[in-house]
Amino acid sequence: MTAIFARDKFQLTKRFVAEAGLRWEKQTGSSDIGAQTVNTNVFAPRLSANNEEKFINNNVAWCGATANAACATAVANFGKAGGAWIVPDAAAVSLLADLPLLKGVTARWGLARNAPGRRPRARRPRA
């Protein structure tokens, strides 16, 4: 198998990243009597886009579009009190469970297509 590829990953906006590439791949094979068993020649273009929505910055949970003091306090005190770690109280756990998202969310769209330049041909072995 021999392949050559090139791709460009570029930033369209602060959060939107696109990727475009092309891969050419050739495979050949021969049997023990020298008959060709595989001969493929494939161009594979790739195109994808990635949009990242971040809900965590600097380890601070996002507590909504507007300031939410109760949420921020619950996050800040989660699992600790006065320097000693404790089991969080039920109210804090409940509040944290109601947070919309505590992880980064990545949306991704992709497109990849294998375009055979030459389809493999079945060959009859020599007698």
The whole-angstrom separation of Cα 95 and Cα 70 is 8
Q: Give contact residues for other proteins (rule: CB under 8 A).
A: 1-12, 21, 25, 27-32, 37-38
Give the CA distances from residue 101 to residues 36, 70, 79, in Å, rounded to whole numbers and listed in that order. Answer: 56, 16, 19
- Indicate the residue among 12 and 70 with the shorter CB distance to other proteins: 12
* CA–CA dist 26, 38 (Å, integer): 10
**Token pair for 67:** 């300031």
Tell me the closest approach of the beta carbon of residue 43 to other proteins, in angstroms: 15
The residue among 11 and 94 lying less far from other proteins, judged by its C-beta, is 11
Q: Which is nearer to other proteins, 27 or 106 (CB)?
A: 27
CB 2 → other proteins: shortest distance, Å? 5
**Which residue, 31 or 114, is less far from other proteins as judged by CB?**
31
Total Cβ atoms within 10 A of residue 53:
10
Q: Which one-letter amino acid corresponds to residue 66?
A: T
Cβ 63 to other proteins, closest distance in Å? 31
